Structure formats: C-alpha cells, structure tokens
Amino acid sequence: MAGQPRGRVIISVEECKGCGLCVESCPPKCLALAPDLSAYGVHPAQYSGEGCTGCGICFYCCPEPGAIIVYRQVKAGLQPRRSEAPKEALESVGAAGGGAEAPPVRQGGQDAAPL
C-alpha cells in the first residue's frame, strides 16, 4: 500500500521504547523494529528510508514525546488564502501521548527543520 513518497521520518533511538506501535500503525509499512538492541535494551523503530507518505500516524500513536519527527513535503507554489491563518499556525498538530508536548508534524521540503 505504499503511496507516493511525500515525507520522511526521523526516530530518536534514545527516546524510542521499542513498543512497535508506530510500526503496526504505519500505512505504507516503511517503519520496522531494528534488529540490534539500543543502549536501553530495546529494539527501537527505524525508518526504511523510502515510502513515507507524511501522514503522521506514527507520530500520533507514539507514547514517547519526542521520539518521532515527521516531515511533510508541500507542493511548491501553494499559497494560503487571505482568510487563512499564517502557515506557521497551521503546521502545529498538537501533542502526543498523555498530553505531553511533542514535536509537531511539520510541512516542508527536503530541507525543512522541525518546529
């Protein structure tokens, strides 16, 4: 079910608990648990490097704030309507797991930085 690549995922090995929720919930199946153990004795999630659609489901289901950052690519030339809020306000998606603040899913190009 891999869609057109429109995003990429960065997973912090130090933050990942190895629960596998992101792996199970990923629609294009571009995440997997690493075969090697981390310093904490768990198999952290890892991104295959291709196939991410930028949906952010892995970010939303992750119980560990800060473990996953998702970058989305936006089509060039799209401008917000005058009635819409500034783009920066539209990019924040809220918190993950237990109401703790986590890095939001960010829309941007290949060189986008987290918010």
User: What's the fold here for domain 1-109?
Assistant: Alpha-Beta Plaits (3.30.70)
The answer to whether the beta carbons of residues 4 and 52 sit under 8 Å apart is: no
Average pLDDT estimate for 38-52: 94
pLDDT mean across residues, the chain: 75
Would you list the domain boundaries of the chain? 1-109
Backbone angles phi, psi at 57, to 5 degrees: -60, -40
Question: How far apart, in whole angstroms, are the C-alpha atoms of residue 43 and residue 36?
Answer: 6
**Pairwise pLDDT comparison (90 vs 33), residue with the higher score:** 33
- Tokens, residue 64: 């560990």
Q: What is the pLDDT of residue 76?
A: 63
Q: How do strand 31-33 and strand 45-47 relate by DSSP bridges?
A: antiparallel
Q: What is the pLDDT of residue 73?
A: 82
Contacts of 35 (CB under 8 A, 6+ apart): 43
**Confidence band (pLDDT; 50, 70, 90) for 90?**
very low
